Amino acid sequence: MRTARPLRFLGATALATLVMITFAPVAAGAGPAPEPSAPRTEVSVSSVDLDGPAVSTVKVTVKNTGPQRMRSLKVSFAGPVGWAVQPALTSVPGTFGVGATTAAEFRVQVPGKREGFTLRTFTATATYAGGDGAGSATATRTETNGAPFANLAAAYNNVGITDEGETGPGDYDGEGNSFSAQKLAAAGLEPSGRVEALGAELEWPGVSPGAKDNVAGAGQAIALSGRGGKLVFLGSGVTGGATGTATVYYTDGSSTSGSFGFPNWSFDPADAHGATLVASTDGRNRPDGYGNAGIAYRVFAHSVALDATKQVEFVVLPSNRNVHIFDMAIAS
């Protein structure tokens, strides 16, 4: 539902549809034999009309699933940073019996769409007395615009591997240096070769030396399908600050996040940030040719935990260009 009259607030970026609902935890019972917890209060957020610029009406529905009447209900709603919402908080009069539902409406200023893949989150929180006795419940709805990259290779944005006879295209570290394709092959990393690490079967980039072969993290969304207990990344870092957070989105609209990091491709301890060494090469390619013989330049593996009961849909990589990723795969 939309209205032609704009709100006089700041705009941001438009999106389209993916849902994730979470609830505030219910307080645990005391004593050696606690009573079963009451079902959690249900809060849901309607879809947002994101065909901006426009003002979209959003409905937040609250269902009393607790054993008591619900009273003193207040509902707040917030959109992405910079998106105007009216009202930000509203009181819902009356009381609501067990199983009853009520709704509050909010208007959100939706700016015009932009190209590319974007994630934005809307949050609704209900506070109340009675009901399930928890006092509050929250729902979040994450909306997306555009499509993730079809796979990691589609997002390659960096040349990390070059031939010793043609080192010019390389720029793994921002200073024109790169891995030697010959030394990588000697260490067992050949184009399209299988790499086993942390229980995952990964693949070394199947591209020619001098082509883009890895992703320097910038918050890219990458399509990925499967189930498992962890997501394994194959890569290494530049500088000592190659850390970040990966967020995994599932087909049911929920998500999990995990932090990981890679040591610098040289000099850092091999177990820095909790990473695992996969391969070590001798020297590197510099803009003027192969050099730094006797110094190890390395590739590592690291992982983040997944919800093994859910189907992965896509992954959002860390927003840190010091994190370089050659492949990723789901493992049990």
CATH of the domain at 125: 2.60.40.10
% of the chain at pLDDT higher than 70: 89
Domain limit, last residue, from 88, 121, 145 = 145
> Is residue 36 very low, low, confident or very high in pLDDT (cuts 50, 70, 90)?
low
Alpha carbons 148 and 45: distance in angstroms, whole number: 24
Answer whether residue 276 shows pLDDT above 70: yes
pLDDT at position 118: 82
Residues 311 and 163 in one domain: yes
Residues 139 and 156 in one domain: no
Residues 64 and 185 in one domain: no
Residues 115 and 82 in one domain: yes
What are the pLDDT digits (tens) for 85-140?
999 999 999 999 999 999 999 999 999 877 778 888 899 999 999 999 999 999 99
pTM: 0.76
Answer whether residue 232 shows pLDDT above 50: yes
Residues 194 and 322 in one domain: yes
Residues 60 and 93 in one domain: yes
pLDDT at position 35: 54
Residues 112 and 139 in one domain: yes
More confident residue, 230 or 146: 230
Residues 294 and 231 in one domain: yes
Number of structural domains in the chain: 2
Residues 163 and 140 in one domain: no
Domain limit, last residue, from 115, 145, 175 = 145
Q: How many CA atoms lie within 13 A of 186 on its CB side?
A: 11
Domain limit, last residue, from 117, 145, 173 = 145
Residues 181 and 56 in one domain: no
Domain that holds residue 103: 2-145
Residues 224 and 118 in one domain: no
Residues 141 and 156 in one domain: no
